Homo-oligomer: A and B are copies of this chain.
Amino acid sequence: MRSTASKSAAGHKPDLIAKIRAAGLRPTRQRLALGKLLFASGDRHVTAESLHLEATKAGTQLSLATVYNTLHQFTGGGLLRQVIVDGEKTYFDTNTGDHHHFYFEDRALLMDIPGDDVQIDGLPKAPPGTEIERVEVVVRLKSRA
């Protein structure tokens, strides 16, 4: 053995490990594998099922329950954002910034709305005793006949 790096972290980007640690989580094999899939490329939108399939195909064996757990833990740690558009499935978005979504109804596909140009005017104040946590805009698209 030439290195003192922990086994689980071997061959993984320190970035990813730091990211997971920053979320208050241990960098386990499963979390590293899912984190790699999620954060390697640009912004992504996944469901628990799609990510589980992807991980399985990539050779990581883990249960769907773990994927659900991990997605929620990542969300809790600010690494992901949950987006709800169709009541069937819950989507998780690696873009945690303030932004909005296109939703392709036919394909059940979610896409970030590029740019931060979207502006909403004329919103009434939050009712007494409450405060606005977030404003979500979903633009529902259907394919043109």
Say if the beta carbon of A117 comes within 8 Å of chain B. yes
* Copies of this polypeptide in the complex: 2
A123 vs B137: C-alpha distance when bound (angstroms)? 10
A residues contacting the other copy or chain, number (CB 8 A): 38
Closest chain-B Cβ to A19's Cβ sits at a distance in Å of 26
Whether A139 pairs with B135 at a CB distance below 8 angstroms is yes
| Contact (Cβ within 8 A) B143 A130 | yes
The answer to whether B124 and A114 touch across the interface, beta carbons within 8 angstroms, is yes
Q: Given A131-B142, A144-B129, does the pair A121, B123 have CB atoms closer than 8 Å?
A: no
Binding site for B on A (CB under 8 A): 84-87, 90, 102, 104-105, 111, 113-115, 117-124, 126-127, 129-144
